[in-house]
Amino acid sequence: MSTKNLALVATAAAALMVSACTKHAPPVASNTTTPVPAPAASTDSGRQQTASNYTQPRQTAATPTDNGAMTKTDRDNLNQRLAKLEDVLFDYDKSTIRPDASKTLEGDVAAIRTILQRYPTQKVKIEGNADERGSDEYNVALGDKRAVAAKEFLTSMGISGNQLDVLSYGKQKPVCTEHTEDCWQRNRRVHFVAEGAAD
């Protein structure tokens, strides 16, 4: 074989070797990237542990508070507060809260609100009344309007409407029976009482 042919064979062999090395290069690069997901899996595991650590405090915080029945002491306190509230008086044939009635309602509302917030199942009954003039049906409707007006006033001051019940007696429950304007004024009223007060 001539020297020229030997040189060509050597060149071809060298080219094959370089080509073979180049073909094996990508798997080496791929092998170097294989360990990378392992730390990521470890990090995810750490995140799962962290998430589970936060789950327990959230469940503890969501534990409902004690909403048990009102104690006798607190019921007596509520009744005393309600008793101190003067009846809210209204003008003839009206259901608008007057300025003097607003002051009456504002008197012990903060204390009543605090008690009711502690006992969400406790309710206060708002009784609407009217004087003797007019029909039974008309006065029941008027007493209802007065009770609703008082309820709206109390809810505007932060007392839950769910804890206020409205009831109208019309002219069936007078506190005065004389046929005078002074007596009629006393009967045009809203009165408050704790539900279950006799328990």
Q: How far is CA 168 from CA 28, 98, 137, 146, in A?
A: 90, 19, 11, 9
Asked whether residue 133 carries a pLDDT value surpassing 60, the answer given is yes
Asked whether residue 174 carries a pLDDT value surpassing 90, the answer given is yes
- Are 188 and 124 in contact by the 8 Å Cβ rule? The answer is no
Tell me the per-residue pLDDT of 67-121, one tens digit each, with 9 for 90 and over: 567 788 887 887 787 777 778 999 999 999 999 888 878 876 877 888 888 888 8
Residue 76: its pLDDT value, please?
A: 81
Q: How far is CA 131 from CA 125, 128, 146, 184, in A?
A: 20, 11, 12, 5
Residue 4: its pLDDT value, please?
A: 53
- Are 78 and 196 in contact by the 8 Å Cβ rule? The answer is no
- Rg over CA atoms, the chain: 42
Residue 190 vs residue 2, higher pLDDT: 190
Asked whether residue 147 carries a pLDDT value surpassing 80, the answer given is yes
DSSP of 7-70: HHHHHHHHHHHHHHHHHHHHHHHHHHHTTTHHHHHHHHHHHHHHHHHHHHHHHHHTSPP---PP
**46-54 average pLDDT score:** 39
Structure tokens, 160: 């839950």
Residue 93: its pLDDT value, please?
A: 95
Residue 171: its pLDDT value, please?
A: 97
Strand partners, 124: 164, 194
Asked whether residue 22 carries a pLDDT value surpassing 90, the answer given is no
Whether the full predicted model's pTM is greater than 0.85, yes or no, is no
Count of CB atoms situated within 10 Å of the CB of 199: 9
Residue 175 vs residue 47, higher pLDDT: 175
